[in-house]
Amino acid sequence: MAKIVVVTSGKGGVGKTTTSASFATGLAMRGHRTAVIDFDVGLRNLDLIMGCERRVVFDFVNVLNGEATLRQALIKDKQLDNLYILAASQTRDKDALTAEGVERVLGELGKEFDYVVCDSPAGIEKGAHLAMYFADEALVVTNPEVSSVRDSDRVLGLLSSKTRKAEAGEGRVKEHLVLTRYNPVRVDKGEMLSVDDVKDILAIPLLGVIPESQAVLTSSNAGAPVITAKETDAAAAYDDLVSRFLGEDRPHRFLTAEKKGLFGRLFGT
């Protein structure tokens, strides 16, 4: 049976899809058979971030409605043989998502994959609810910013009550904090919540800190998950995150500002 991991946040624009794409790719790079599903029905974007938008023929809703088989709808990654993407539909038919349907698809995927990553939509409506409902573990993506932290706390409340595990009394969904768009320079100036501040408030274990990075935009421009942008800070941070998720002990990096020398201060970077 595959492990089901939801990537969620409550707030939009904090990096759920970026994280889903890189996390799934990182798992696949380590040899795990991985599927990543876009639950944002009506506003699909995972396909763009993964660079497979031109190969979407059938989507998640087609599979739920029985209009296509899972095999027809799964899109193989450009680079990795063991990574597949299931796109969301672009129609606004949100009623297509039902608990029974999602359970069936996840059950089928579970037979063939080691990990199923569910990219949740923003908000706490049906799509977000079903993305987390069957999860074993959750990556809670948070920006060091008040509205994002508050929304993450809301989502933690839902994870502890509105999931199959919680309802069946089978323990809790394992929560991981992923802090994205972190800027150590602004933290040093006292302008941004620090990683310890956010950990204090949300009180869940920290899985990774992704620095604010130019590589995130340039990678999405090119349609490649940022974890594949070798030698960039964001890729290294996501790589560490995946290793930690798999149980490796890796120290956190990119938490402190690099000291600029005189040259750097004079000419910027």
Residue ranges binding other proteins (CB under 8 A): 145-146, 149-150, 153-154, 157, 160-161, 187, 189-194, 197, 200-205
By beta-carbon proximity to other proteins, the closer residue of 55 and 260 is 260
- Smallest gap from Cβ 175 to other proteins, in A, equals 8
> Cβ closer to other proteins: 126 or 186?
186
Which residue, 99 or 203, is less far from other proteins as judged by CB?
203
Least separation in angstroms between CB 200 and other proteins = 8
Closest CB 50 distance from other proteins, rounded Å? 32
Helix (H) or strand (E) holding 187: helix 184-188
- Nearest approach in angstroms of CB 159 to other proteins is 11
Q: Which of 246, 247, 239 is nearest to 209 (CA)?
A: 239
Beta bridge partners of 255: none
Q: Is the CA virtual torsion 17, 8, 212, 209 positive or negative?
A: negative
| Distance set, CA 261 to CA 174, 190, 264, 267 (Å) | 43, 22, 5, 10
Cα 73 to its chain centre, rounded Å, is 21
What's the closest the beta carbon of residue 257 comes to other proteins, in angstroms? 14
What is the spatial distance between Cα 94 and Cα 269, in angstroms, rounded to a whole number? 46
Nearest distance from residue 161's CB to other proteins, in Å?
Answer: 5
Q: Which tokens hold the place of 146?
A: 């008040």
Q: How far is the CB of 187 from other proteins (least distance, A)?
A: 7
DSSP, res 258: P
The 3-state DSSP composition of the chain as helix, strand, coil percent (nearest 5) reads 45, 15, 40
How many CB atoms neighbour CB 196 within 10 A? 11
Given the complex with other proteins, which of 2 and 179 has the nearer CB atom?
A: 179
At 240, which amino acid appears?
D
Nearer to other proteins, 75 or 149 (CB): 149
AA identity, residue 87: A
Taking the least distance from each CB to other proteins, the nearer of 26 and 211 is 211
| Residues 6 or more apart in contact with residue 239 via CB below 8 angstroms | 26, 227
Indicate the residue among 114 and 145 with the shorter CB distance to other proteins: 145
**Closer residue to other proteins in complex, CB, 191/258:** 191
Q: How far is the CB of 147 from other proteins (least distance, A)?
A: 10
Cα gap 214→234, rounded to integer Å: 9
